[in-house]
Amino acid sequence: MPPPSSEAGDDDGSPPPSPALSPRGTSSTPSLPAPSADVDLTDEVQDFRFLTSLIDSETAQKLPSRGTKDFEPHGTRAQDAALAASRAAMHAALSLARVHPRGGQRAEWDGKDGAWVDKPGGFWVRSVGRVVRVPIADSDSDSDSEDQPSDTMPTKPKSPRKPKTEARTHLHPEEALWLLERGSLDIHWPPAPGEAPFTGLPMSLQGGYAAFLGEVLSLEVFTVYQYLKRAGYTVLRAGENEGSVPVYKAAAGNPLSVLFARLWTALFAPQPAHDPTTNTSIGPAPTDPTAPRVTYHVYKPLPGFKKTSPGPPDFYVSVINARESCFPSERQLDGLLAQTPYHPPTGVTNLYLRLKKGYRDVVLAVVDQGVAWSMAIWTS
């Protein structure tokens, strides 16, 4: 961490200029040299006139890293015109309808949470949705074509037949809503009684929000899911992916050196009240519904990802509603971190790197109309 420059070496009272804001006014005024921190473009509302830089390379205007906003209204018509142009650009950009070619995948709302997909295909199937075996609706009145009786065999008495099942792809509500918003999937309401499936009315975006948000999926969780998917990650529910969390195996060392190390630490090393090396196992999700828990396992967008065997997740994300919870207590934070794998910083000698890595870590996604990300690391 490079310290801010100071001649006398003590912490200065005045903070350096923040990178989050552009200098006041137009570009003709002199500006101070900017500190080298990253600029997070999602921090501010950006002008929609720069949206074209992302979609149309021909008329692209480069997205300025700091924007060209003013400090206060000064009544010039130029400023009013710029504002009207921005608002018009926003209106135009958001008025476009979601279209996709006919013949793509379609799905149907299953009535409580999620949707069934008709013929899964397309790029998203690699990372979204799960195959569920569902009993076929009319398996009772099975036609003889299912059976293949051999003429040579004597007829057996009819044993109770296991219901026939078929493999269908099911989407969780956040997955279905995300695909609907992207315009990749056509979702239908359940059909009128007596009609064939997938012939119900097509779901609008508004209908999608009404159908999929509710007790199971809150808007906070969906916001985080959507943010991560738009950034390109693969996101799986933690509750269904527990088998992928790696269990820690201590490296077997020379027994003599292990004994010596234990003796040394017992005699000379300070004894911390909480020894992080004592508990290396993965704990269960907390039973208290208000306690924070790991919501999603997130994987970086690398090729070769398999839904059936995803491997150890890259990040563990816990979604927190800022308005309805406080900063967790020690016990709650401990319970939350217990659901993440234990990874001691062995072999790292640099103090700062050791502290940065820590023994366990979790990503906290705190949501209040927009996500604030931070990482909590158990250092010792």
Partner 1 sequence: MSYGTGTRNRRPNYAQLHARPLPLITTPLPAFIPHNPLSLIRILHALLLPYIAPPPSHPAPRYQAYFSPATRSVHVTDPAAVRALWESGFFGKGSLSRSEPTWLEGEKRRRGLGAEVTSEEVTAKRRRERVEFKRERARLEREAVEEQLRKEKIAANGGAVDELVEKVAALEVTEVNGSAQAGESPETVEDPVEVVVEASDLKAEAAADPETAPAPSVQDVDIHLVNQEHLQLSLEEAFFLTYALGVLDVQLPSSSSPTLPTNASYLHLFRTHSRFPPSATLTPTDPFLLRYAVYHHFRALGWVVRDGVKFASDFLLYERGPVFKHAAFAVMVLPSFTHEYWFEDPLGVKERRRVEGERGGRDWVWLHCVNRVQTAVVKTLVIAYVDVPPPGEEVDDVGDVLGRYKVREFCLSRWSPNRNRG
Partner 2 sequence: MADITVAEPFPIFAVANKYILYDINTVTYIRRVHHICGVLIGNIPQAAQQNVFSGIPLELIPEEARLLVERGSAYIVDDVASHRRGLTDLSAAERIAFVSVLEKQGLEAALAQKRKADKKREKHFEKAGGKARKRGPDREDTELESASASYAVSRAASVVPNDSDVQPLCITPTTSYPPLSAPKPTTALLPPASPSYDLFAHLHSKDYFLSPGLRFGCQYLAYPGDPLRFHSHFLANGVAWDQEISLLNIVAGGRLGTGVKKGYLVGGKDDSRDEVRVFCFEWAAM
Task: Give me the residues that bind partner 1 (CB under 8 A), please.
Answer: 1-4, 6-16, 18, 23-26, 28-30, 32, 38, 40, 74-78, 227-228, 231-233, 270, 273-274, 300-302, 315, 320, 322, 325-327, 329-331, 333, 351-352, 355-356, 358, 363, 366, 368, 372-380
Least separation in angstroms between CB 338 and partner 1: 13
Window 118 to 157, contacts with partner 2 (CB under 8 A): none
DSSP-derived secondary structure for 43-65: GSPPPGGGGHHHH-STT-----S
Residue choice 31, 61, 76, 79 for contact with partner 2 (CB under 8 A): 79
- 239 vs 241: CA distance, rounded Å: 6
Rounded Cα gap, residues 208 and 171, in angstroms: 13
The span from the CA of 210 to the CA of 187, in Å, is 13
Nearer to partner 1, 176 or 298 (CB): 298
Contacted by 282, from partner 2, partner 1, none: CB < 5 to 8 Å by type? none
Q: How far is the CB of 335 from partner 1 (least distance, A)?
A: 12
Angstrom distance (rounded) from CA 9 to CA 26: 35
Smallest Cα–Cα separation from 182: which of 216, 120, 234, 226? 226
Long-range contacts of 287-290, Cβ-Cβ distance < 8 Å, separation of 24 or more: 290/325
Query: In the set 39, 134, 189, 280, which binds partner 2 (CB under 8 A)?
Result: 189
Q: How many CB atoms lie within 10 A of CB 12?
A: 12
Pairwise CA distance, residues 245 & 248, whole Å: 10
95 lies in the binding site for partner 2 (CB under 8 A) = yes
Q: Rounded distance, CA 177 to CA 203, Å? A: 10
Q: Is 60 in the site for partner 2 (CB under 8 A)?
A: no
Q: Which is nearer to partner 2, 53 or 279 (CB)?
A: 53
Subset of 215-234 contacting partner 2 (CB under 8 A): 217-219, 223, 226-227, 230-232
Stretch that binds partner 2, among 2-10, 29-37, 179-187, 251-259 (CB under 8 A): 179-187
In the complex, the smallest distance separating the C-beta of residue 74 from partner 1, rounded to whole angstroms, is 5
What token pair was written down for 93?
A: 């950009």
Residue 86 binds partner 2, judged by CB under 8 A: yes
Which H/E stretch holds residue 261? Answer: helix 255-267
Q: Restricting to residues 3-42, name those near partner 2 by CB under 8 A.
A: 12-18, 20-22, 24, 41-42
